[in-house]
Every structure is written in structure tokens, then in C-alpha cells.
A = this chain, B = another copy of it.
């Protein structure tokens, strides 16, 4: 205890560690990183997983285009450099949430392997769970929930992943979900079972 005599202010304080927050929440702080084409089901599955976890009393939060692109990253576009900066910032924020003890779900196309690996290295062993949300391009284009593929085909949107910009598939993801074959419910259940197996929900 370091007492500053001149001002009579005690400068010693207690710091709460990540492990203590995890004990309070009865879970591990991790990042579930959903990656895949637009329309492959990232947000949809992430939301269903978050709902299931919430009903189990687990604390989770989703980072996605809705709360990131209009806020923290509204200064960024879709050039390769801006995509990298986009994912860098998201990775840093996800790392903070995981450090807080939160089960953090991210739902971004995140097309580049090197950008996803940046997050993997930031989080460290066992805290980054890459979930490849797999669907055929024609399926995604048919779903086209936001009408983006149509605009990309018309050239209204440039550099659109899968059409006019590349998507690099994960080489070694912790999990692959196939939304051509599985229902949202089934995909979500697969994720939950994976988390149980990894001891994240204890």
C-alpha cells in the first residue's frame, strides 16, 4: 500500500481480473468469429446462438455491421485497406469484450485470412473460435436479404465479396456450419454443442 502523505490519498486499489469476471458470469470470455459470404447466414445463426445462450443465463453480445459500420467504423469504406482496418478495429473491440468475460459473437464477411488471423493471435489460444458459415454462392445470391447481390451484379456496388472481390475460405476453422444443408436451429445447436465441448459454458 503506497500512501501519498502530502495529499493523504491512498493510491492502492484492487483490480478485478478477467478470471474474476469469468467466475462471476460462470463462463469464459471468448470470440465466436463467424465468417462467410453475404447471405451465408452469419448474423442469422449468430443471433440464434446468442438467444440460446441468453436463455441459458449466459452473457453474450453480437458485433455486426449494424452496430459497427454505423458507429465505430463509419469512417471506413470497402477498399482492401479499409477492410483490413475495419477488421483490425473489430478484433480489438472483440478482444476487450472477451477480456470483460463476455461471449462475443462477430458477424462480418471478413474475407481475408490474414485479417482473421490477426484476431486469432490477439485473442490467443482457445479464445478465438472461427466459424465458417458455408453456403453456395448461388444460394447466397438467391437469398440476397439486403438486395446487395443485385446491386453488385448491376455494378452499383463495387468490390463486392464473391462477385467482384475475393473471399478467402478458412483453412482450419474451429467449426464449419453448412447453411445449405442445416436449418438455423440446427446450425445454432452445433455451435452450442461445440462451446460445451470446449468448456466455455461452465
Contacts and interface: CB of A to CB of B under 8 A. Distances in A.
B96 A61 contact: yes
B71 A16 contact: no
Contact of A102 (B11, B100, B143): B100
Q: How many copies does the complex hold?
A: 2
Interface of A: 4, 6-16, 20-21, 24-25, 41, 44-45, 47-48, 50-51, 54, 57, 59-61, 63, 67, 71-72, 89, 92-93, 95-97, 99-102, 135, 139, 142-143, 145, 179-180, 182-185
Given A7-B135, A71-B96, 9 more contacts: A6-B139, A8-B183, A9-B179, A9-B182, A13-B47, A13-B184, A21-B61, A61-B100, A96-B97
Given A21-B54, A61-B100, A93 B67 contact: no
Contacts of A4: 142-143
A202 to B, nearest CB: 17
Contacts of A99: 61, 67
B59 A25 contact: yes
Nearest to A4: B143
A152 to B, nearest CB: 20
Nearest to A8: B183
